[in-house]
Amino acid sequence: MKKRILTGDRPTGKLHLGHYVGTLKNRVALQNEYDCFFIIADLHMLTTKYQDLKTVKQNINDLVLDYLSVGIDPQKSNIFVQSLIPQIPSLFTLFTMLTTVPRLQRVPTLKDVMRDLKIETASLGLLSYPVLQAADILIVRANLVPVGKDQASHIEVTREIAQRFNSLYGEVFPLPEVLIGEVPTLPGIDGKAKMSKSLENAIYLSDDSESVLEKVMRMYTDPTRLRPTDPGHVEGNPVFIYHEAFNKDKEEVADLEKRYREGRVGDVEVKEKLAKALNGFLEPIRAKRKEYEGRPELIEKIILEGSERIQAEGKETLDLVKKAMGLKYFD
Distance CA 315, CA 300 (A): 22
Q: What is the pLDDT of residue 184?
A: 65
Percent of the chain with pLDDT over 70: 98
64-108 pLDDT per residue, tens = 999 999 999 999 999 999 999 999 999 999 999 999 999 999 998
Under CATH, which architecture does the 4-186+295-325 domain have? 3-Layer(aba) Sandwich (3.40)
Using alpha carbons, select from 319, 322, 314 the residue that is nearest to residue 169: 322
Q: What is the pLDDT of residue 114?
A: 80
Considering Cα of 71, then 73, then 78, then 83, what sign does the dihedral take?
positive
Greatest Cα-to-Cα distance within the chain, rounded to the nearest angstrom: 78
230-269 pLDDT per residue, tens = 999 999 899 999 999 999 999 999 999 999 999 999 999 9
Bridge partners, 80 (sequence order): 39
Residues of the chain with pLDDT under 70: 50-51, 183-184, 330-331
Taking only Cα atoms into account, the Rg of the chain, rounded to an integer number of angstroms, comes to 22
Q: What is the pLDDT of residue 286?
A: 96
Q: What is the pLDDT of residue 152?
A: 82
Distance CA 188, CA 134 (A): 28
Using alpha carbons, select from 185, 188, 195, 179 the residue that is nearest to residue 219: 188
In total, the chain counts a number of residues equal to 331
Distance CA 44, CA 132 (A): 8
Q: What is the pLDDT of residue 216?
A: 96
Distance CA 267, CA 270 (A): 5
Distance CA 288, CA 88 (A): 32
Q: What is the pTM of this model?
A: 0.88
Under CATH, which architecture does the 209-289 domain have? Orthogonal Bundle (1.10)
Q: Check if 4-186+295-325 and 209-289 are the same fold.
A: no
How do beta strands 4-9 and 35-40 pair? parallel
Domain boundaries, the chain: 4-186+295-325, 209-289
